[in-house]
């Protein structure tokens, strides 16, 4: 017994004698940036939707108090940011969106290159030569009414949805479905994706709508919703709706994140906020606030681990694939809408 206690004591002494590595926010460079940010007093972040940005002030101020965080939510974010810059107005500090959303702003050199390493962000967590830091992903999912669905009937692959057993059972978004199929064209090839688009929309009697799909599925009018954003379905589920989801393969991902405006009026506060949002702590706060996940190399969910281990095929949202993906989405839109 005494030997065991001695061993435990030695282990504890060894642990406590090892210097603890300082967290990134305690680094001198970050502390100096924080002081400059406090002197600036505020920071303005723009995002596409309210729930993408309204949680940021509280979360950021919990780690870095004394800086006012103002936010704007607008789906037409890029167009307005470009128009403001053309007019010589520079009110935005941080631009937060998806790869697709930020691309027009990057192309016009309105986003600055940023060193993200002080915020515990590696190169694989950035895009556009350091102009964007990645924070989270959304995955296209297959939502279902869990009260009336036999889980054995759920698809393992997106291609399964041409099976006649799904006819008349699905609804989908006119906005999201072309984006899902456009992304699927990357691993499948264009011909297969076009045929899939035609098959699910003409043979499967999919209820296509621009209205919310959760009432349709929750009521049982349709058992399934094809191509829903996974974080949104988690919100439905957590709100008490009788809806859950699976993520068929290939896992189609959308990359979220943002960057610092090149002419940010509060440059230090902008870099501090953007760095915090891309840090492990910022990602964790986002997950709690928005139900979003990080399926990238730093992701900790079981799905992220399987993707990164190569056990699940994934279509990643990467800058070098954007042109091909966007062209395919443009092609699939009229097909899904029955115009071609």
Q: Which CATH architecture has domain 138-253+305-336?
A: 3-Layer(aba) Sandwich (3.40)
Radius of gyration of the chain (CA): 23
Same fold, 8-136+254-298 and 138-253+305-336: yes
Strands (E), the chain: 42-47, 68-73, 94-98, 126-127, 132-145, 170-173, 207-209, 224-229, 243-246, 251-260, 314-315
43 φ/ψ sector (left φ>0, alpha ψ -120 to 50, else beta)? beta
* Of residues 128 and 300, more confidently modeled: 128
Residue 338 has a pLDDT of 86
Predicted confidence (pLDDT) at residue 273 exceeds the cutoff of 70: yes
Confidence at 328, pLDDT banded by 50, 70, 90? very high
Q: Which of 142, 249, 229 is nearest to 188 (CA)?
A: 249
Query: Which residue carries 């950035």 as its tokens?
Result: 126
CATH-assigned architecture of domain 8-136+254-298: 3-Layer(aba) Sandwich (3.40)
Q: Would you kindly state where each structural domain of the chain is located, as residue ranges?
A: 8-136+254-298, 138-253+305-336
Summarize the confidence of residues 41-46 as an average pLDDT: 97
Q: List pLDDT tens digits, range 15-28.
A: 333 333 359 999 99
Q: Are 257 and 134 in contact (CB under 8 A)?
A: yes
Average pLDDT over residues 192-217: 96
**339 pLDDT tier (thresholds 50, 70, 90):** confident
Query: Average pLDDT of the chain?
Result: 91
């Amino acid at each position: 017994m005494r030997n065991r206690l001695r061993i435990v004591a030695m282990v504890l002494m060894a642990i406590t004698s090892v210097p603890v590595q300082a967290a990134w926010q305690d680094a001198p460079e970050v502390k100096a940036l924080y002081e400059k940010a406090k002197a600036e007093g505020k920071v303005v972040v723009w995002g596409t939707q309210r729930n993408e940005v309204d949680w940021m002030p509280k979360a950021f101020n919990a780690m870095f108090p004394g800086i006012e965080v103002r936010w704007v939510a607008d789906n037409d974010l890029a167009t307005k940011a470009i128009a403001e810059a053309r007019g010589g107005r520079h009110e935005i500090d941080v631009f937060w969106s998806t790869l697709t959303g930020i691309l027009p702003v990057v192309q016009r050199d309105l986003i600055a290159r940023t060193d993200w390493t002080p915020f515990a962000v590696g190169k694989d967590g950035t895009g556009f030569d350091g102009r964007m830091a990645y924070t989270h992903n959304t995955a296209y999912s297959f939502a279902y009414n869990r009260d009336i669905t036999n889980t054995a009937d759920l698809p393992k692959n997106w291609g399964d949805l041409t099976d006649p057993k799904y006819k008349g059972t699905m609804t989908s978004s006119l906005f999201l479905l072309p984006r899902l199929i456009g992304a699927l064209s990357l691993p499948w090839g264009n011909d297969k994706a076009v045929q899939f688009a035609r098959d699910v929309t003409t043979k499967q009697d999919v209820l296509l709508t621009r209205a919310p799909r959760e009432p349709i599925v929750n009521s049982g009018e349709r058992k399934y919703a094809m191509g829903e954003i996974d974080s949104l379905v988690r919100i439905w589920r957590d709100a008490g709706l009788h809806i859950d989801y699976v993520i068929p393969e290939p896992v189609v991902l959308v990359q979220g994140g943002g960057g610092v405006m090149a002419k940010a009026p509060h440059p230090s506060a902008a870099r501090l906020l953007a760095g915090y949002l891309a840090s492990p702590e910022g990602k964790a706060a986002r997950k709690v606030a928005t139900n979003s996940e990080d399926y990238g190399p730093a992701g900790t969910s079981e799905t992220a681990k399987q993707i990164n281990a190569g056990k699940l095929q994934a279509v990643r949202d990467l800058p070098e694939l954007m042109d091909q993906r966007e062209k395919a989405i443009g092609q699939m839109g009229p097909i899904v809408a029955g115009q071609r």
